[in-house]
Structure formats: C-alpha cells, structure tokens
Chain A
Amino acid sequence: MKLEVRNLSFSFRCREVLRDVSFSAERGEFLSVVGPNGAGKSTLFRCILGIYSDYTGRIAVDGDEIRSLSRRQLADRIAYIPQIHRPTFGYSVLDTVLMGTTHHLSPFTQPKARQITQAEQAMEWLGVAHLANRNFAHLSGGEQQLVLVARAIAQQADILVMDEPTSALDYGNQLRVLQRVRQLADKGYTVLLSTHNPQHALTFSHRVLALSDGRVAAWGKADQALTEELIQLLYQVKVDFLETEEGRIIVPRKGVGLS
C-alpha cells in the first residue's frame, strides 16, 4: 500500500511540532525516519496512526485520507510496533500475537481457529513460534521485539510503523531485528521506522526521511540523502563516510563535535 503525507503541519499546545512535512512511501519500501530528539518523529507517527487527528494537511493510504477511516479500517491498513517496555501484566506469546487479530473480530467474540492460524503463521515468519507458550514478560529484549513485530503481521496490515524498535536492544539483536524488518519490506510491506542510528538507516533502508525541528531536512534514497552535511545539521557532529565491500560506513571523526 502507498502512504502519502502532504503538507502536514501539527501543533501541540500552541507549539508547532511539525511544519509542512511531505513525503511518500511505496509498497515494499523501507523508509527510515532520522532526526535528533524532539525533531517530531514520534509526533509524525502519532498523526499517521490516527492518535492525533487535528493536524492540517493530508495523510492518505492508497488515496484515502486516514481521518475518514474508522479505527478498524485504519487497523486493517496500518500496524504499530512500539518500543519494547515492561508490560504490567505478562501474557503468553500466543495471546500477545493474537491481540493483533482483534480488529477482525466483532466486539463480543474471542479469537477462533482462523485467528490462531494467522497468529501461528506470523510467529513462524518471525521465528518465534517455539516461544508460543512462554510468558512475554520473561523473554529477552530481542525476542520481545520480534513478538511485537509478529503481532503487527498477525494484524494483516500492509504498512508497519515502528517507533525506535532497536533502541532498547543489544548490538546483535538490533541487527537481527532490522534484518527481519528488511525481509518484511522485501515481501511487500511498507515500513516506516524511526532510528537514532544513521548507520542502520543507511544499511537497511531504501529511503531516508530526515526531520529537523519539525521540518523535512532531507528525503530521498538512503545513500544519496545521508551525507556528511546532513549529519552535521541533524546531530552537530562531524563524520566521514567510508566505502567498504559491505557498503558505506559512517565513521565519527576523532574529538567529534565536542568543540
């Protein structure tokens, strides 16, 4: 599905958080959203998820403005994968994933064989099927994040919105989760993922959207949009780009930006 954002502006308590943001993401595209803390990444995602609806401009999924869609219709198209956090009540992994199927059910019914098949498929895709009976709260961070991705897959929406999914993970799990996400994009999902690590954006995503102070600082192909100048602008640090066999690597300069 195609996600299109046109001239999006949003103010929160009289402060303009997003200003004139425009971009789009095609089917099968992995779009990384980068920018410093407070640049408006989370706010942008909340607008796309329909949490904030008093924005100006247009957010459209396959041509339909999302404000005209009901909660259920929106859940049919866009799934959200939050940062992992300690849940108040730990559910089994199966139940956690099954929750993603809720919008297929009428309010008074419980998941049936069809939903369970859906959840099992999603768990198998993400390689977490063997954890089905475990308590979500007792899993490692990497496993939890994959389970949350599986829940989004069980939701059967084509657009995945991920708010800094790797920020609470160790080095290995960060790469493993991003690898999986890239595979999902290759399978046809549209992925919107915010990250604090420009290297991740460069290595895994097709395109990059850079936000600075609520405005679009750059939007384009990952290897073209991410430049030394952009990183200087976003984070006030000086870096070099090294070409290697494994791709382009971002290396901070010594005594970086501390002056």
Chain B
Amino acid sequence: MTNMTNMTNMTKHTIAIARRLAIALLLATPVVTSAQDKAADAKPADAAPAPAAEAAPEAPAAEAAPPKLAPRDADDIADAAARLGAIAKDAAQPLAEGEIKVLSAVVMAVEGRAQWRQDENAAWKDAAVDDMLKPEALIRTGRESTLALRVGLNATVFVDRNSRVKLPQIVQAGSTLSTKMQIYRGRADIKVDKVGLTNDFSVVTPSTTLAVRGTGFSCDVGALFGTRTIGARTNLMRAIEARYFVRSDRFFLSGNATSDGVYRSPAVNELGRSFGPPPLIGQIMQGDRTLTSTGSFLRDPMARPPEGRDEITIQRSIDVKAQRPSFFRFPNGDGGGGVLTDGGN
C-alpha cells in the first residue's frame, strides 16, 4: 500500500515537472532555438524542475538598437575636446596692466547661406571656414543657415537662421577678456568658457543688455515676443569645436617633406610614397582609383593579379615575382628609388 502510494505520488510529481517544463520550453522557444542542443537534451524526467520552471522567459531577440559610438570614436572626440580646452587655457595668459590686445573671431562651421563684412561700407562676403573676423564685423544668415564662430580666447557663438549680429568688441585688457556682441534679430547661442582670465562678455539686443560671466545661453531676438533667453545648445557647439579642432591639426614641413589632401601628415605621406598607402593589405587608394586587394601577392608572389587591374598593380606583381624572397619592393609612383628588400638592405 505504501509502495502504491509512493508510486502514485511519484507519478503525480513527474507529471507536474513535465507540465512546468513544457510551459518553460514554449516560453523560451526564441532563445532555445539557437541552442538546439539544450532543446534536444531537455528531457522531462531528468531535468531539474526548479531552475527550468523558474527560468524567466527571455524576450525575443532585441530590436536593432541605435548604433553607438565605438569606444575608440568616443575617446577620440573626448580627447579632441580635452586638447582643445587645454590649448585654449594655455593661450589665455594675462597681459601687463593697461595693455590691450585686439583679438579676432574665426569661423568654425558654416551651413547654408551666411555672409559677413568687416564694416558697413564693405561688401558682403560668403562665410567660409577659417575666415578671420575682426571687431566691428557684421554677420547675417539666411533661411536654414547657421554659422559657428570661435570669438576671442574664450567664447563660442552659434548664429542661427535669419539672424543679423555684430561683434563690436573683442579685446583682452590685462587679465580681462572683454567681448561685446550685438544681436539685431534672430537667434544666437553663446558659450563662454572659463580659461583662467576674467570674462566680460555682454550681449546687446534692441531691448536689453545681458552679461555673461562664464556660462552659456541662447538669445532669441524677435519682433513678436521681444528678447528671450533660453538654454544654449552646448553639445552642438562642443561638437563643432571638436570637429574644427581635429580638422585643423597643424603639420610642420621641412626639407623635402610633402603634404597633400589625402595624407596631410608628412610622415604618412612619405610612407605612402615609399611603401604604398597603408594598409598594405586591403584596398589601396591610387589617386581617384581604387584598387582591390593585392594581398594575394604577399601570400603567393607567383600568383597572377586579378583581371582588370591597372598597370600599377600589374607592375607590382611583376616586381614581386622577380624579387620573390623580398616582396617588399614597391616602385614609387614617380619612378624614383625606395626599394627595400628583406633584411632592410
């Protein structure tokens, strides 16, 4: 009798386990589908009831998340911003008492139609990146147009659509950076950085004058609602600064060094002229022609180049075959020297 009871209980227990497992499997099907061994191995009688029954049903494969910056990209931007800040601070040194230095503004980014002129009598010029504006410069933007400026040593100004602004004063007097900006109409975002000197940035509108000590805000001047101040688009301005800074890395050339639009760094440029443009395996840029991989040559110097390749690749394949043990010989584009064989001879 006891055995019968035990068997009945065991059967009931087994059936309960099987029911739970079946439910768990149905709920977890999207996950288990990819791991078919687990599904094949799952046996109702052998599987532990608690973990399977309590296994939280996992959600189906997540929808494609927005692409995130790779850590390297994010670090580059952060590094660039940090370097820009360090450069700004290094450049901001106090002057002698009573000494006044007139500063200028540089255009960092232009979108759409934006123009500037140095004074009321000058002709309007289309704004371009790297344009230098002296005090008293007038700026105007059209529809859907913006202009970003680095003003003096401490401020970034983002002039928005349909705006007309003027920069009457950009000076450093002793240890004070004095800047005035006049907004006739439109919207401008102002970000004033703390660079170790005293900031005296003021914004003049038709109805009011605002002082900015070391902060940022956006000033919208319109005839319908007058002058309004709202938050500045700081992230946008920082992104423009970082992009401008990264683009504006300077290179110093000496001797026979060269720099071109593709390889601005003279070291990289020389590497390309000596050994071919990096990477050596993969796509090779030759002027405006893209050649496909010549990696096969490095693996098997006797291999024939793919069909349809131009003379440069064919010449390289011939050279590789002729210099079989030393396949690092790449003729220069201009036919000059630069032969390098194994062992560096």
A binds B: no
Residues of chain B having any CB pair with chain A under 8 Å = none
